[in-house]
A and B are shown apart, each in its own frame.
Chain A
């Protein structure tokens, strides 16, 4: 290993995903932060040294600042005010501020809560309305949690799964078929669909793992290609009346799944949480248990941290890859199942790509930990929910949320940049960069 400059132990920013393993073996690195020194100084240390949580918060803050600039300087009122900056500097700055404040307050009201609903509640309005934005955020986060888990689980086993989009389609196709073509009693139908979705995604994931295990084909290349293959498969089945296409339709859309296969909502209306959200949380718990408490998970993490050591310890590296990709694909397929059963009820082209690729950002922001993935998905879900409101209120396009998400992950992926900008001291490297590796392994 020593001839490989990219993977030297103690090389701070290139540690594998599992920092527990790496930081305990890194002898040349700075000392691990002392947990028993008193909470006050620990917090200060965490801030000045830029612990992962602090880096994440600063990354979010930086992204919001840059996003604000993008919003302001694409606003024709603001640009007009700045063109006469020397005549009226105050007007330019206040126009900029107004533009940003209007957009972000609408974003906040749509994502977290709207102060008006509280005062309305005091005056006889609905108390539930206060939680409406949060329920929207949870709804938006639901599929992201599972595609995020799909990326994170594979990541922990040292695999980079860019294929959640394709696996999502694999699951969604199976679910849709089971949903409208098979007739089953109430609860059983929904459960069968969920299992079918998991299986549909798992097959696609298994293919990636099996190809890597048997031939060494790089999983990144295979998953990228499978995304587009599955996109064409979706095109094919949605365009074939004997497969999934709604009869008598020229559009590429499937029939609605039967009510018995649909996932109900709990509570409401209007603030309601879909059963799909509970499925997502259960999936996150299951993934956590698998990774942290089971033998299989231990093998995943060992293979992810050091395949050679895993092999020496008697683990089958190829088998681990296959199983990890199978489960990852299954999680992405489950995301497709929940999206179809809980939100869309029919399959078409609207959602291809979004969830799968957003899952990558969710997994990265969540540092490939199930809890982190749930939190990251909730953040992005809130951004999406808020962005929709923002577009309606201020006509700032909802796409700004994609910009924010991209910037957040970009900054989180580069802690040295955040440390340099905010003048933080160096600390133990908890980078999410993963084992930086090339096509050759």
Chain B
């Protein structure tokens, strides 16, 4: 064991200097892009940011920003990069530096895209953009929470993608034949069922969890695709009507300018997501149950010794996580577009996995990462609609590149629960 650990540390630790310079270089590169691309190639005039939706009861005035502001952002980013290489030592400060530089980058990008001729003087509506971000993040957040639940208990869940897809399918078919609420509950149960199968094969039959997740995803893609062709295509009026939940505005909160329409005027699924984030975060880190789960994920032998039922905890967590991911899948059909399509989850489960890793296996971190990934998607869609000459593909890669950078230890270090992925056998 010692030798393995020694090997691991030797391979894992890139020289601290290298990492410092790389991180600083990345920050400076963002600053240079701000200046050289968004600054030099900008168009004269101001960028406008609208902060309220049309028809809102309280309107917030539109903010106008001159295009030279991006130079300030660029210079600040470069200064932060230099500071990162020289004086910055506390991890919190380093993370803040990344956040600030990314924020400057996004704002510069928006200023640049709005001062151009592409928007025809129409302001960028920040509220719409953030609404789309939050809605698009729902399946990512719920999927990432499912991942956290499993991996904190020591079982790798790659089948998030399958859970989303199964949830989406069951939600669509039940909402079409029985009713919306039945669809929502059914989707949750379907996700839980996938979690149960995952648990059975991983825990009882010791199947490698990564293999298992991939195979389950393929299997679910096959089953839903088959039933889609068999039932939904031939009989869309019966099985795929496109029933959706409508938005519920929370009285009072929903009328607050800016915040209201973003956070408190959406479908029930968003509110479930809020509850799920809080429950999983508090549950994992502030309750006896959470302590047990984490003990099982870090050191199952020790947990077993003090009388914790390792296998039961793993089973329960995978099923509970599946219930959440299933709801995330329901968002894809009855929460947004209504109708099911083949492979509608389109890799969102894998982004959710990335978000969980990026968020360092914590519910809040995963949520933040999911929001970040959701934002890049929303931004990509937005830039696509105003035909800015940036390929949406470049923004589309951002979450994945960021995750590779994170696991390669270039920005901080991510570490999985110690017993993650290892089947537990009582000695």
Contacts and interface: CB of A to CB of B under 8 A. Distances in A.
Interface of A: 1-8, 11, 13-14, 70, 74-75, 160, 162, 211, 213-218, 220-222, 224-229, 231-233, 235-236, 239-240, 307-308, 311-312, 317-318, 357-358, 360-361, 364, 396-397, 399-407, 409-410, 413-417, 431, 433-441
Which of B158, B207, B427 has the most chain A CB atoms inside 10 A of its CB? B207
Nearest to A431: B206
Given A6-B424, A75-B230, A307-B7, 16 more contacts: A7-B422, A74-B230, A214-B11, A218-B407, A221-B403, A225-B403, A228-B350, A232-B396, A233-B393, A409-B215, A410-B215, A436-B206, A436-B423, A437-B421, A438-B419, A439-B156
B14 interface: yes
Given A1-B1, A357-B218, A364 B408 contact: no
Given A413-B211, A413-B215, A440-B418, A396 B230 contact: yes
A218 B216 CA distance: 21
A4 B5 CA distance: 12
A215 B409 contact: yes
Interface in B214-247: 214-216, 218-223, 225-231
Q: Which 7 A-B pairs have the closest CB atoms?
A: A438-B421, A402-B222, A406-B219, A397-B229, A216-B12, A6-B422, A439-B416
Contacts of B216: 406, 410
B404 A407 contact: no
Contacts of B381: none
Interface in B298-327: 300-301
6 contacts: A8-B425, A224-B350, A224-B354, A226-B400, A229-B400, A440-B418
A217 B156 CA distance: 16
A370 B4 CA distance: 30
A410 B222 CA distance: 13
Interface string B250-291: 000000000000000000000000000000000000000000
Contacts of B394: 232, 236
Q: Is the interface of A mostly helix, strand, loop or mixed?
A: helix
B210 interface: yes
B360 to A, nearest CB: 12
Contacts of A437: 208, 421-422
Contacts of A308: 3-4, 7
Contacts of A439: 156, 357, 416, 420-421
B207 A399 contact: no
B237 to A, nearest CB: 14
Given A236-B391, A436-B422, A357 B214 contact: yes
Contacts of B211: 160, 360, 364, 413, 433-434
A228 B403 CA distance: 12
Contacts of A240: 391
Nearest to B19: A215
Interface of B: 1, 3-4, 7-8, 11-12, 14, 154, 156, 158, 201, 204-212, 214-216, 218-223, 225-231, 300-301, 347, 350-351, 353-354, 357, 391-394, 396-397, 400-401, 403-404, 407-410, 415-427
Given A216-B8, A229-B397, A433-B211, A5 B300 contact: yes
Which of A228, A229, A438 has the most chain B CB atoms inside 10 A of its CB? A438
Contacts of B156: 438-439
B407 A399 contact: no
A225 B225 contact: no
Given A217-B404, A217-B407, A220-B210, A438 B205 contact: no
Contacts of A357: 214, 218
Nearest to A166: B400
Contacts of B228: 399
Nearest to B201: A414
A413 B409 contact: no
Contacts of A364: 211, 215
A436 B393 contact: no
Nearest to A236: B393
A307 B1 CA distance: 12
A399 B206 contact: no
Nearest to A5: B425
A241 B370 CA distance: 33
B397 A216 contact: no
Contact of B11 (A11, A216, A228, A431): A216
A206 to B, nearest CB: 14
A441 B353 CA distance: 18
B218 A438 contact: no
A283 to B, nearest CB: 23
A237 B222 CA distance: 29
A307 B403 CA distance: 26
B401 A229 contact: yes
A396 B222 CA distance: 13
Nearest to A306: B4
A272 B208 CA distance: 39
A416 B391 CA distance: 49
B230 A397 contact: yes
Contacts of A214: 11, 14, 408
Contact of A14 (B206, B409, B420): B206
A68 to B, nearest CB: 13
B266 to A, nearest CB: 27
Contacts of B205: 13, 413-417
A396 to B, nearest CB: 7
A372 to B, nearest CB: 15
A228 B220 CA distance: 20
Contacts of A213: 11
Given A74-B230, A217-B404, A232-B393, A5 B422 contact: yes
Given A213-B11, A416-B205, A225 B1 contact: no
A216 B13 CA distance: 8
Given A436-B208, A440-B415, A441-B8, A403 B396 contact: no
A304 to B, nearest CB: 13
Nearest to B427: A5
Given A224-B353, A229-B397, A364-B215, A433 B420 contact: no
Nearest to B401: A229
B11 A225 contact: no
Contacts of A218: 407
B210 A361 contact: no
A235 B12 contact: no
A1 B2 CA distance: 8
B210 A160 contact: yes
B219 A403 contact: yes
A1 B4 contact: yes
A228 B416 contact: no
A399 B226 contact: yes
A213 B350 CA distance: 23
B226 to A, nearest CB: 4
Contacts of A211: 404, 408
B219 A407 contact: yes
A406 B222 contact: yes
B408 A2 contact: no
Contacts of B201: 410, 413-414, 417
A317 B6 CA distance: 13
B7 A438 contact: no
Contacts of A436: 206, 208-209, 421-423
A403 to B, nearest CB: 4
A437 B158 CA distance: 14
Contacts of B158: 220
B407 A221 contact: yes
A361 B393 contact: no
